[in-house]
Structures are given as C-alpha cells and as structure tokens.
Amino acid sequence: MPSAIEQLRDAIAGAQTIVISGHKGPDGDCIGAALALRHGLKSIGKEVTVFSNDEVPKIVRFLDPGGSVIHLATESDAERAGQGQWDLGILVDVGFTQRAGRAEPALLSAETLAVIDHHEIGPEASGEIRIIDPSASATCFILSKIFRDIGLSVDKNAATCLLTGIVTDTGSFRFRNTDEESLAEASELIRLGADLPRISEEVWDSRPMSAIRLLQKAFYNLKLLSGNRLAVTHLGLEDFVDAKDEDSEGIASEIARIEGVLVAAVFREPHSERVRVSVRSRGDIDIAEVCRKFGGGGHKNAAGCTLTVGVLAAMERVIPELERCLESS
Ligand code: AMP
Ligand code: MN
Ligand code: MN
C-alpha cells in the first residue's frame, strides 16, 4: 500500500486539471497553502484553479496580486464550479469538504480528492488521499515538507505563501504549537526566498481602522468569569455595520493574553443569527472538545464553532460549557 504522500505524488502526475480550496472564512494558512500549491503545480504544467467560499482576507491579499483565487459568491457560482470536470481536487487546512462551503461541489466533482490538513478530525474525513497530521503547527508546514518529498520546486512566491501559513497559525512563533520543526522549516523557506519582513508587515502591522474599532468594542464588552480565569466578549450585529467579519480575526488571541486567564472566547454576529465563536485556552485545557459539542472543532488550544442563533443566546449556551470545561481541568 503506497503511503499517502506517494498516492498524492501519483495523483498529481496523472492529473492535468486540479481544483483547490480551503475552508470557509479563509485565513493565512489556508490561502497560503492553496496559493503555494498553485505556484508549484503550475510550474510543472498543470492547470490549476483555486476557489474560495469567501473573499481572500486583506491580510493575505499580497500573496495573490493577480487575483487568481476565484470567490464563489453565490449558489449559482457554486453550481457552475461543480460542473468543471477536474482530475484532482485538493482540500487544504480542513478535513471535510462541507467546510469548503460553495467550493464543495467543485471538489466533489473531481475524480480523486486529496485532503491536506492539521486538525484533529478522526476517520470520517473527506477524500481518498489523506495527509493529516494534527501535531503539525500549520497546513503550510505539512505542505512545505510535501513539496520536498514529491520533488515540487519552491520558488520565492511559493516560499512566501508557505511561510505566511506558518507565521499566521503560530502567531509569529509565539503560540504553543511553535516547535523546533516549524522553526527549521521556516528557516528553510527564508533560505528559499520567503519575504518575512513583508509577511510581518502585511499580517500584523497593516490593520484597517475598522478592525481596531472592533477590538475597542470587544475590550469594552469584556467580562471576566469563573474567578477571572474565563474572559468573554461579544460583538453584535450592529458592530458590523462598518466592519467585516474578517476584521474580528485575532481578537480571541488578544483577549487570551490577560494574565491569569485560562480560557478566552469571542462571540460575534457578523450576519443575523449566525454567531461565530472563537475560543483560546492555555495548557492542557481542551476547548476543541467544547466546540465539537456545538458542531465546531479545531485544536486543543484554538478552536471555534458557529451557532445559528443571536449573539446573547449563543453566549447563554456556550459559556456554561466553557465554565464546566475549566472546572474539570
Ligand atoms: P478561529 O477562532 O476562527 O481562528 O479558529 C480557530 C480554530 O478553530 C481553527 O483551527 C478553525 O479551523 C477552528 N474552527 C473555527 N470555527 C470552526 C467551525 N465553525 N467548525 C469547525 N472548526 C472551526
Ligand atoms: Mn485555517
Ligand atoms: Mn491551519
């Protein structure tokens, strides 16, 4: 039985048209992975299409100056994309095609589907080829090694894409998922020409004022519960009149920085009755388990879920579970 990497290598060799997507609400890791794959696969003559359920977030738009990522904005876009007859589909940074949203029909129409991911997902993951390593700091970290293993060249652009995923998912090498291997891989990517100063500038130091205003409101609404060990805040529908969902990226990590806080959660309702919850924890506290109870998931220390209720109702449901999780750990 060939290994998953060998299966992927053979699937790529046998494919001419390849479709790639990451998850809904894309981040630096999934866009970085998709675009790195696009660079690498195009360099060996493949026809590559990258779809996204949502627009590429501003912090990583510099990775795609030509606007090659196709935003599937409507259901009819999704349907049309699903009519393409792709030889190979590659899902990155998520284990289930369903979380690719409107890119799902295109992935499902592919003759073979590969999944490259670093989430804890269990045996029911999508795809015939699965390269899934929950111990990896980022999908881009896994992918960087795959490029080497299957002999795909990493040019400067691909190196910058891959390093962006590692940088965003490790919070610039601050989060606990930062390990020796990620630092070594990052170092190798810099050797290959990845532009770390540019990544830092675009990802961390170019925040739109609309994002800072959301952060301001999030701090205003901040409450400490469970003996100051649980930090919770929320942003309501009215806070998103002049802001986008992506502007709230990073607030959970910001709240989690408070001394003594072990669990931090941000509830936000960018669209009516669709509340996205981002949770962060320290040490051995597994909040992915809590998020899974609400149909979400993620990693032990960084997870999320989406509830189809108003923001206050979502808080009423999730906060007691977070408190319980804190008490039992
Ligand atoms: P975020 O808080 O959006 O940065 O997400 C943190 C982690 O939780 C990421 O690894 C996501 O993949 C995961 N996650 C967030 N929202 C969901 C969701 N609705 N379902 C499954 N996983 C999620
Ligand atoms: Mn991601
Ligand atoms: Mn990731």
Q: Are 158 and 39 in contact (CB under 8 A)?
A: yes
- Beta-carbon neighbour count of residue 169 at 10 Å? 27
Per-residue confidence (pLDDT) for residue 329, from 0 to 100: 85
Q: Give percent of the chain with pLDDT exceeding 90.
A: 97
Helix (H) or strand (E) holding 21: strand 17-21
Edge-to-edge strands, sheet with 69-71: 69-71, 47-52, 17-21, 88-92, 112-117, 129-132
pLDDT confidence band for 253 (50 / 70 / 90): very high
Question: Is the pLDDT higher at 234 or at 2?
Answer: 234
Q: What is the model's pTM?
A: 0.94
Closest residue (by CA) to atom 6 of ligand 1? Answer: 303
Ligand 1 centre from 306 Cα, in Å?
9
Ligand 2 centre from 149 Cα, in Å?
23
Q: 3: helix, coil or strand?
A: coil
Ligand 2 centre from 311 Cα, in Å?
23
Q: Which residues pair with 45 in a beta bridge?
A: none
The number of the ligand 1 atom at minimal distance from the alpha carbon of 288 is 8
Closest residue (by CA) to atom 1 of ligand 1? Answer: 278
Ligand 1 centre from 46 Cα, in Å?
31
Pocket lined around ligand 1, Cβ cut-off 6 Å: 119, 252, 278, 296-299, 302-306
Each residue of 100-117: pLDDT tens digit?
A: 999 999 999 999 999 999
- Whole-angstrom distance, CA of residue 119 vs CA of residue 186: 20
Q: Do domains 4-204 and 209-328 have the same CATH topology?
A: no
- Residue 190, class by beta-carbon neighbours within 10 Å (0-12 exposed, 13-18 middle, 19+ buried)? middle
pLDDT confidence band for 279 (50 / 70 / 90): very high
Residue 319 predicted with pLDDT over 90:
yes
Cα 115 to chain centroid distance, Å, stands at: 14
Q: Where are the domains of the chain?
A: 4-204, 209-328
Ligand 3 centre from 169 Cα, in Å?
6
Ligand 1 centre from 172 Cα, in Å?
18
**Mean pLDDT, to the nearest integer, of 162-178?**
96
Mean model confidence pLDDT for the chain: 97
Residues with Cβ–ion distance below 5 A, ligand 2:
27, 29-30, 93
**Mean pLDDT, to the nearest integer, of 200-223?**
97
Ligand 2 centre from 190 Cα, in Å?
22
Residue 122 predicted with pLDDT over 80:
no
Residue 305 predicted with pLDDT over 90:
yes
Closest residue (by CA) to atom 13 of ligand 1? Answer: 298
Q: Are 88 and 111 in contact (CB under 8 A)?
A: yes
User: To test ligand 1's pocket by mutation, which of 93, 306, 309 has the most ligand atoms within 8 angstroms of CB?
Assistant: 306
**Mean pLDDT, to the nearest integer, of 180-197?**
98
Q: Which residues pair with 304 in a beta bridge?
A: 278, 297
Residue 20 predicted with pLDDT over 80:
yes
The number of the ligand 1 atom at minimal distance from the alpha carbon of 266 is 2
Per-residue confidence (pLDDT) for residue 123, from 0 to 100: 81
Per-residue confidence (pLDDT) for residue 202, from 0 to 100: 98
CATH architecture of 209-328: Roll (3.10)
Closest residue (by CA) to atom 2 of ligand 1? Answer: 278
Per-residue confidence (pLDDT) for residue 21, from 0 to 100: 98
pLDDT confidence band for 121 (50 / 70 / 90): confident
- Whole-angstrom distance, CA of residue 219 vs CA of residue 303: 20
Per-residue confidence (pLDDT) for residue 280, from 0 to 100: 97
User: To test ligand 1's pocket by mutation, which of 142, 176, 203, 305 has the most ligand atoms within 8 angstroms of CB?
Assistant: 305
Residue 39 predicted with pLDDT over 80:
yes
Per-residue confidence (pLDDT) for residue 304, from 0 to 100: 97
Ligand 2 centre from 246 Cα, in Å?
13
CATH architecture of 4-204: Alpha-Beta Complex (3.90)
Closest-lying ligand to the alpha carbon of 250?
Answer: 1
Per-residue confidence (pLDDT) for residue 137, from 0 to 100: 98
